[in-house]
């Protein structure tokens, strides 16, 4: 009777996750001399925390190797194909908020919306002979967002860090990046499109649909009651 709970293994996301569960009277403590964490049970037996990097939690949830997991809602959407078929969004946790947005150079005074971007992408390709480059690490989210609107004639450039600098360096024309205040984007002379919000992300508790719930279900019910969640 064990419910495996995937939690971010470091940084603010870890601390805030601990706090969040702590408010429901669930506490984590190191067990013995090793680096493992365990719940202080408070009558709640059977919950086993599994500390993982936030980026690995979507994969573990989709594979059913953990029952519950805390990670950014952007991570799940980016990393799991057709995510609602394998994981369920249990609740937003109110922290780790960040927006994935599409931004263009501030000097593009003729561009404010996706409609503009689409028109500019077409003429950019005709003029420069290659498709307008958008730097991002969120390939799936950006591609689906642009496909839904109907923007064509662009290409995604993989950028795993310092994405906001690529336009200045001449390696891309636009960026799709995570921001909480937009300050870094502005400092790099970029502006967010008025309809360029791709996803509003926050730390979220997800439930795996593929995990074996036969014995974990009763643990989930107790946990959900403690957390005031409708599961």
The contact set with another protein (CB under 8 A) reads 80-82, 85-86, 105-110, 112-113, 115-116, 118-120, 122-124, 127-128, 131, 139-140, 143-144, 146-150, 152-156, 167-168, 170, 173, 189, 191, 194
What is the nearest approach in angstroms of another protein to the Cβ of residue 27? 37
Residue number, 124 or 206, with CB nearest to another protein: 124
Q: Which residue bears the tokens 């601990």?
A: 18
What is the nearest approach in angstroms of another protein to the Cβ of residue 17? 27
> What is the number of other CB atoms lying within 10 angstroms of the CB of residue 101?
21
Residue number, 114 or 220, with CB nearest to another protein: 114
- What 3-state DSSP class applies to 44? coil
Residue number, 88 or 115, with CB nearest to another protein: 115
Residue number, 30 or 128, with CB nearest to another protein: 128
What is the nearest approach in angstroms of another protein to the Cβ of residue 113? 6
Residue number, 119 or 224, with CB nearest to another protein: 119
H or E segment and range at residue 216 = helix 216-227
| Selection from 199, 133, 189 nearest residue 165 by Cα | 189
What is the nearest approach in angstroms of another protein to the Cβ of residue 152? 5
| Selection from 63, 65, 59 nearest residue 5 by Cα | 65
212 strand-pairing partners: none
What is the nearest approach in angstroms of another protein to the Cβ of residue 217? 23
Q: Which two tokens stand for residue 142?
A: 């950006």
DSSP per-residue letters across 167-208: TTTTS-SEEEEEESSSHHHHHTTEEEEEEEEEEEE-EEEEEE
């Amino acid at each position: 009777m064990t419910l495996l709970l995937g939690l971010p293994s470091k940084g603010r996301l870890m601390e805030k996750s601990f706090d969040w569960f702590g408010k429901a009277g669930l506490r984590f403590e190191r067990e013995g001399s090793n680096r493992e964490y365990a719940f202080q049970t408070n009558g709640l037996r059977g919950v086993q925390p599994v500390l993982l990097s936030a980026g690995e939690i979507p994969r573990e949830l989709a594979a059913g190797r953990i029952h519950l997991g805390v990670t950014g809602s952007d991570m799940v959407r980016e990393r799991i194909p057709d995510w609602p078929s394998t994981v369920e969004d249990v609740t937003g946790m109110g922290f780790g908020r960040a927006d994935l947005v599409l931004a263009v150079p501030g000097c593009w005074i003729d561009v404010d919306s996706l409609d503009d971007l689409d028109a500019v992408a077409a003429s950019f390709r005709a003029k420069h002979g290659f498709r307008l480059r958008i730097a991002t690490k969120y390939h799936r989210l950006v591609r689906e967002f642009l496909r839904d609107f109907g923007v064509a004639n662009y290409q995604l450039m993989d950028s795993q860090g310092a994405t906001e600098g690529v336009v200045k360096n001449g390696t891309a024309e636009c960026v799709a990046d995570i921001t909480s205040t937009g300050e870094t984007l502005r400092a790099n002379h970029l502006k967010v499109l008025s309809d360029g919000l791709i996803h509003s992300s926050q730390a979220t508790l997800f439930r795996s649909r593929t995990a074996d719930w036969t014995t974990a279900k009763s643990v989930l019910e107790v946990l959900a009651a403690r957390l005031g969640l409708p599961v």
